[in-house]
A and B are shown apart, each in its own frame.
Chain A
Amino acid sequence: EVQLVESGGGLVQPGGSLRLSCAASGFTFSSYSMNWVRQAPGRGLEWVSYISSSSNSIYYADSVKGRFIISRDNAKNSLYVQMNSLRHEDTAVYYCARVRLGYPDYWGQGTLVTVSS
């Protein structure tokens, strides 16, 4: 069974940093590209970042470019996002999602990041 479990969310002050993790199991993690997608409270889904299976291709939404860094460790079956210079508008549930045939197919349950003073 495919499982994705996010962790690392919490309350952080504006300007602060946070590192989210996503632990994958039930599939060959190293064979799949991965995404981070977020959802602000009461809002729709917003793509955040993408990383290819071998980390050769990395992309970011304009809203986080220069502040967030996506990475993965295929030996540990783990995906990460380092979030720096956090803003109020980064408050959201952050989901990791596997990519198959160009679409996010399996998603984790999400981890809440709250940016507030």
Chain B
Amino acid sequence: EIMLTQSPATLSLSPGERVTLSCRASPSVSSYLAWYQQKPGQAPRLLIYDTSNRATGIPARFSGSGSGTDFTLTISSLEPEDFAVYYCLRRSTWPSLTFGGGTKVEIK
């Protein structure tokens, strides 16, 4: 069974700062990892898939990297609309789909 551990649970930052979020997989998930953003009262939005590919319409300030067991989502300069919860997800390996526990990025 795949486990995805996100850290930290909460980050307190200011607009304009650079953000690095971590997702650790056990065991390895190769490059099959995605990142989602969720704002309060909204559905999750796909940001990054297959580790580093931006989804349609996602700004260039969002980037993903990593492989195997360690993955990173980077926001180069936080915009006010980026304060949200971020989840990582291992690509479908049926019969299950695994989400990480999430990292909340809040305003400092």
**Nearest Cβ on chain A to B89's Cβ, whole angstroms:** 7
Chain A at the B interface: SS class: strand
For B32, B50, B94, B100, the residue with the greatest tally of chain A CB atoms inside 10 Å of its CB is: B94
- Contacts A45-B99, A108-B43; A50 near B87 (Cβ below 8 A): no
- Contacts A45-B44, A47-B98; A103 near B92 (Cβ below 8 A): yes
Q: Are B101 and A105 in contact (CB under 8 A)?
A: no
Chain A's closest residue to B49 (CB) is A103
Count chain A residues whose beta carbon lies closer than 8 angstroms to a beta carbon of B: 23
Q: Are B96 and A45 in contact (CB under 8 A)?
A: no
Contact residues in A for B42 (Cβ distance below 8 Å):
109
Determine whether B95 belongs to the interface, using a CB cutoff of 8 Å to chain A. yes
Complex interface bits, A1-40 against B, C-beta within 8 A gives 1, otherwise 0:
0000000000000000000000000000000000101000
Q: Are B92 and A102 in contact (CB under 8 A)?
A: yes
For B42, B92, B98, the residue with the greatest tally of chain A CB atoms inside 10 Å of its CB is: B92
| Complex CA–CA separation, A101 to B34 (angstroms) | 11
Q: Are A104 and B96 in contact (CB under 8 A)?
A: no
Q: Are B95 and A59 in contact (CB under 8 A)?
A: yes
Complex interface bits, A93-108 against B, C-beta within 8 A gives 1, otherwise 0:
0010001011111111
Chain B's closest residue to A47 (CB) is B97
Q: Are B96 and A47 in contact (CB under 8 A)?
A: yes
Q: Are A50 and B94 in contact (CB under 8 A)?
A: yes
| Complex CA–CA separation, A88 to B46 (angstroms) | 29
